[in-house]
Structure 1
Amino acid sequence: YNSEFWQYKGILLNNIFEFEEAYNTFNKALSLNPGDVDTIINKSIAEDNLGMFEDAVASLKQAINIEPSNEEAHFSLGVIIERQENFQEAIEHFYKAIELDELYAEAWYELGYCYENLEMYDDSLKCYNKFLEIEPYNANGYYNKGIVFLKQGEYEKALNTFELSIAVKDDFSSAWFNCGITYAKLNRFNESLASFKKAAEIDPYDEEIFFNLGQVYEDLNDFEKAIRSYNKAIKLDNEYYEAYLARGYCNHLTGKFKLAQRDFNIAVKVISELTSSFNLPGNFEEPFVMFDENIVEIIGKTEKEPADFESMKKLADIYIELGKWTEAITYYEKCSHLMPGNAVSYYGKAKAYFFLNRTQEAINCLRAAFSIDPELKNEFDRDYPEIKTSRLFKKLLEENQS
């Protein structure tokens, strides 16, 4: 077989996502024709999809060295670098592609995207406008332009542009979704609801649509419909902690206090599991296999000597790591007895109480910890920014102050 055969076969394999076989096939083509730029560019696609980022970049730079006027090589290099979020460098390559072909629509589009991510919105809009001059019936171009207007706070312009996107592609769920977001920003809640409902018709498996529907119902003080929308979001994603917090707030407002506490408790546990954030100050890192040995050693020490705060705290921390919440509370209580008013003991107990679904006691412990050591509140806020801004959390804290 000649190099053209292997190149064509490699392109077919790329198109059906068989990237490893495509990579090997392009190498066969290059063994017969080492300087073929088209083969090198297509090989870079396989390398990129195989996670061989540095090899893909090297291949495209090789293609550019062989043929500096190849706009596709510059564009492809820009795309790979853009995906690494190195937007400034990617811009240079997109501009080089445009220098070689002023009507290179995709390069204008990606330029707009890079400028958008650099928050250079005026430049981004110029690029999207140029893209739309070349491709006036491209729904994505209008959509991205609308996103820039939305980020700028130009809500009327954003709406007009999203509507153009929908005119081109009426089943564009993301455009309907962002119409809903924009109408809500303008306090046009009924139109916002209509847009979100249309988005849900098109894509009934997008939990964010139902979450935002719930937010609009909240704005309309229709808390029961808001709860139903949050239920749908949670059904689609049972780790959607924002939905638990929002549903809990609505439950609280409608007098369902136990359900509100339960939602808050679930949200805290989900965030803890997703981010491993609920770290205890001074917590130590030790291999899991050493935990039992540490417990035996510390308990043995306390049988010979009076219990001390650090030993009790270390035992409590180990039990937290092991998920033995009742035992952890026991030893944090001993810490409190040895050092009354210690904030870390309250903070540790709060975590254990959350995992035992004893939300009221957990909130009480958090309040005590924050009152004793305000810096601990700052740490909690840093670890849990979503909870920090949660209206439900504020309600629960206020409740416990009375």
Structure 2
Amino acid sequence: MALHTNENHNPTVHKFESMLKTDDVYFFDAEDFEEIIHHYLNLGKVSLGKKAIQLGLEQHPNCIEIKLLQVEVLVFEDQFTKAESLLDQLQSIDAHNEEIFIQRANILSKKDNHAGAIDMLKQALTIVQDEDSFDVYSLMGMEHLFMDNYVEAKKCFIQCLTYDDSDYSSLYNVIYCFEFLEDFEGAISFLNKFLEKNPYCEVAWHQLGKMYIEKNMWESALGAFDFAIISDDTFLGAYFEKGKVLEKLGKLNEAIACYETTIEIEDPTSHAYLRIAKCHEKLGNDDLAKYYYYNTVHEDPLLDKGWLAITEFYLRKKDYEKALHYINKAINIDGDNALYWKRNAETFFALNNIDEADFAFKQAVELGNYELDTWTNWAKVLKQLNDSEAAIQVLLQGLEFYPNNAEILYQLTGLYLRCNNFDEAKEHFGVALQISPKKSSIFLELYPEYGQLKWVQDSLKRNQRAST
């Protein structure tokens, strides 16, 4: 096995690796072996860790700490029976070693017995010194997360913060629990109390800003992001989130300044370019918008959202040929994205390429796009293909997602008339008039040839009289 002593500057590890290379036998005390084993396990070099455990037990056969590290490796390799047998031996020697219960919890967790793992961790808490409880509460919090018990998980991670308020992992987990519970007010209250004790914690300010966004408290969010930036003026996430809030408030030039700051602090990112482009487009700076849209995809050619943004830019400009070119690039990157197929369909429809539009709408629906205009526009495509029966089936599917939708019902009326199914046409027209008489214009625009039918005119007049 190749040994790379240059990967570390630890003299103990260096001495151990020298021993392995020369086949000489050096003596190490038990603490040195623990240090060596931890070193390799932390680097993911399990085979070297196992070698150190083997040699460690040869020199210190009764060392419980080394045997517990052996258990850790056995659990990692899913050798649960051997691990449990060794833990039984160790517990008979030292029944008050919390690590024994932690490893038992680890085994139960890997067996998906998370409730059992929590019970073991609770036993560990009765043994461990209070100042060393952090790791146990952290593990317990993760077990509760595995069980989707976010209330108890939150309590555990909050307890972790009482031992180490600089542990951002626990802080993020607390906020994750609040978010999942949709308790944004609780999160705001917690973060404000946390910040009273830790006023320069940029992560807490950042998370507080995001919670204010969830409550549409835009000015409060801006204040929180400003404090995050004061705490760390290189905090990219705070600048980015602040920019998004400024966009929401229509302060587009200020938003651009925030995004540009992120580019100044670190290398440009495609996401920053994309936000800047959208701001310039809203400001009517089309040339600058295009410049930044193209920078977006130049910076990251695989960012399909960039290609989609360019597509939608050209769709708004009614430059359908260019829109088609760029949406096809997005599809080439992510061919399973329903929205991209929908944009592809809309572009083909605008170009009057009806067959391709039909195929693209079908792909969009098969991939899970069930938006109202997907059904109604697909039906219009099929109408142009003179396939009224297929259009009816599409709209009937749409009704399953949008029951009694007037727009769908008016379109169905016209299609049933095309198929000479007058009973269905009258029934759907009557229901549509009851739901939304104003939208009868949809029927009259799409099917003007039926607008003068006597029963249609009579229905419209009766509805008009009833509403006055």
Contact preservation (8 Å) 2:410, 2:442: no
Contact preservation (8 Å) 1:248, 1:392: no
Separation in 1 of the partners of 2:355 and 2:453? 33
1:137-286 equivalences in 2 (<5 Å): 137-203=302-368, 205-271=370-436
Q: Which amino acid aligns with 1:3?
A: D
| 1:59 and 2:193 matched | no
390-399 or 70-79: which moved more? 390-399
3-state SS of 2:200 partner: coil
Contact preservation (8 Å) 2:375, 2:395: yes
Separation in 2 of the partners of 1:125 and 1:141? 11
- The verdict on how the C-alpha distance between 1:254 and 1:120 changes in structure 2, with shifts beyond 3 A counting, is farther
Q: Which amino acid aligns with 1:147?
A: E
1:293-332 equivalences in 2 (<5 Å): none
Separation in 1 of the partners of 2:423 and 2:281? 44
1:50, distance to aligned residue in structure 2 (A): 3.3
Considering only CA atoms, is the larger Rg found in Structure 1 or Structure 2? 2
Contact preservation (8 Å) 2:444, 2:451: no
Provide the alpha-carbon RMSD of the alignment. 3.0
Separation in 1 of the partners of 2:252 and 2:398? 34
Separation in 2 of the partners of 1:86 and 1:241? 38
1:41 is matched with which residue?
206
1:203, distance to aligned residue in structure 2 (A): 0.9
1:391 is matched with which residue?
445
3-state SS of 2:228 partner: helix
Contact preservation (8 Å) 2:222, 2:245: yes
Q: Which amino acid aligns with 2:170?
A: K
Structure 1 unpaired stretches of 5+:
272-353, 355-383
Q: Which amino acid aligns with 2:391?
A: A
Structure with bigger RCO (C-alpha 8 Å, 6+ apart): 1
| 1:112 and 2:112 matched | no
Cα displacement string for residues 228-277 of structure 1 (whole angstroms, at most 9, x for unaligned residues)? 11111112111433222222222233333443343334334434xxxxxx
Separation in 2 of the partners of 1:191 and 1:238? 28
Contact preservation (8 Å) 1:249, 1:391: no
Contact preservation (8 Å) 2:392, 2:415: yes
Cα displacement string for residues 295-344 of structure 1 (whole angstroms, at most 9, x for unaligned residues)? xxxxxxxxxxxxxxxxxxxxxxxxxxxxxxxxxxxxxxxxxxxxxxxxxx
- The verdict on how the C-alpha distance between 1:11 and 1:195 changes in structure 2, with shifts beyond 3 A counting, is same
Cα displacement string for residues 168-188 of structure 1 (whole angstroms, at most 9, x for unaligned residues)? 111011111111111111121
1:142, distance to aligned residue in structure 2 (A): 0.9
1:28-107 equivalences in 2 (<5 Å): 28-65=193-230, 70-84=235-249, 87=252, 89-101=254-266, 103-107=268-272
TM-score (norm 1): 0.63
3-state SS of 1:3 partner: coil
- The verdict on how the C-alpha distance between 1:255 and 1:118 changes in structure 2, with shifts beyond 3 A counting, is farther
- The verdict on how the C-alpha distance between 1:172 and 1:85 changes in structure 2, with shifts beyond 3 A counting, is farther
Structure 2 unpaired stretches of 5+:
1-161, 459-468
| 1:14 and 2:175 matched | yes
Q: Which amino acid aligns with 1:201?
A: E
Identical positions, percent: 22
- The verdict on how the C-alpha distance between 1:8 and 1:269 changes in structure 2, with shifts beyond 3 A counting, is farther
How many residue pairs get aligned? The number is: 290
Contact preservation (8 Å) 1:208, 1:233: no
Contact preservation (8 Å) 1:4, 1:29: no
Separation in 2 of the partners of 1:252 and 1:84? 49
1:191, distance to aligned residue in structure 2 (A): 1.2
3-state SS of 1:187 partner: coil
Q: Which amino acid aligns with 1:14?
A: I
1:92, distance to aligned residue in structure 2 (A): 3.9
- The verdict on how the C-alpha distance between 1:240 and 1:144 changes in structure 2, with shifts beyond 3 A counting, is farther
Contact preservation (8 Å) 2:205, 2:228: yes
TM-score (norm 2): 0.55
- The verdict on how the C-alpha distance between 1:385 and 1:269 changes in structure 2, with shifts beyond 3 A counting, is closer
Q: Which amino acid aligns with 2:166?
A: E
Separation in 2 of the partners of 1:393 and 1:62? 59
- The verdict on how the C-alpha distance between 1:15 and 1:390 changes in structure 2, with shifts beyond 3 A counting, is farther
